[in-house]
Structure 1
Amino acid sequence: MNDIHESTLDDLVGDWLTLPDVADVLDLEIRRVRGLVADRHLLGVKRGERTTFQVPAAFLVTTDDGTHVLETLRGTATLLQDAGFDDAEALRWLFTGQDTLGGETPVAAMRAGRRAEVRRLAQALA
């Protein structure tokens, strides 16, 4: 990944978590977190000086019931993959404001419970 590509994602995403950080926050074993990535419940990229795999912190949601993975991410990630997006491209799309969402990012809309709008947009990309 070149520096321009990485800094663009950094500017869009903001806060990142390593897999051990995700495991700590979710109180899971690291192998379970790797399973969430393998099953596309979480998306991420290798980044940073040591090129460690990291996921956006925005994919974790804290409620009264604790912290969990954003439930609507998996289906949306699958639609983006079906449209030919790799994980870095999917992250860029998820964290870029969309006019049809009033300038809001798809990830912010999903966190606000507007899954259907985001999925319609993602389906239109195919």
Structure 2
Amino acid sequence: MLTVAETAKTIKASENKVRQMLRDGQLIAVRRNGELMIPAEFLNDNGPVKGLSGTITVLSDAGFNRTEMLRWLFSKDDSLPGVTPINALRTNHGTEVKRRAQAMAF
């Protein structure tokens, strides 16, 4: 888990940019001891992992809250390459992840 400052340093952006990404639904954070924390698995050197923001949107449209989204993204799913949705996203299998997220909405 990374703070907003650590996230900004990782993706070479300002803390305000990271906060904007959180507001826009490109990233999800949880509050720990009063501080926003972002899973490091959500990031690569250039920013959020490809497909993450689209997956967050699909899950949000399905009625998931932030905590439920985090649980789902890190839950084991043997039918996905990479075993968890976030690992599948990190290995460029976003289509499969979004397909499963969409199916959960029905």
Same fold, TM-score > 0.5, yes or no = yes
Q: Which residue of 2 aligns with 1:124?
A: 103
Q: Which residue of 1 aligns with 2:75?
A: 96
Displaced runs of 4+ in structure 1, greater than 4 A?
Answer: none
Question: Partner amino acid for 2:26?
Answer: H
Q: Which residue of 2 aligns with 1:34?
A: 19
Give the distance between the partners of 1:42 and 1:103, measured in 2 at CA. 20
Q: Which has the larger Rg?
A: 1
TM-score by length of 2: 0.92
Give the distance between the partners of 1:74 and 1:58, measured in 2 at CA. 13
Question: Partner amino acid for 1:89?
Answer: E
Unpaired stretches in structure 2, ≥5 consecutive residues? none
| Aligned-pair CA distance for 1:79 | 0.6
Aligned residues: 105
**Structure 1 20/102 Cα, relative in aligned 2: closer, same or farther at 3 Å?**
closer
Deviations 1:17-46, CA, capped at 9 Å, x for gaps:
010111111221111110111111111111
RMSD: 1.4
Unpaired stretches in structure 1, ≥5 consecutive residues? 1-15
TM-score by length of 1: 0.78
Q: Which residue of 2 aligns with 1:60?
A: 43
Q: Do 2:4 and 2:18's aligned partners in 1 also have CA atoms closer than 8 Å? A: yes
Aligned: 1:82 with 2:61: yes
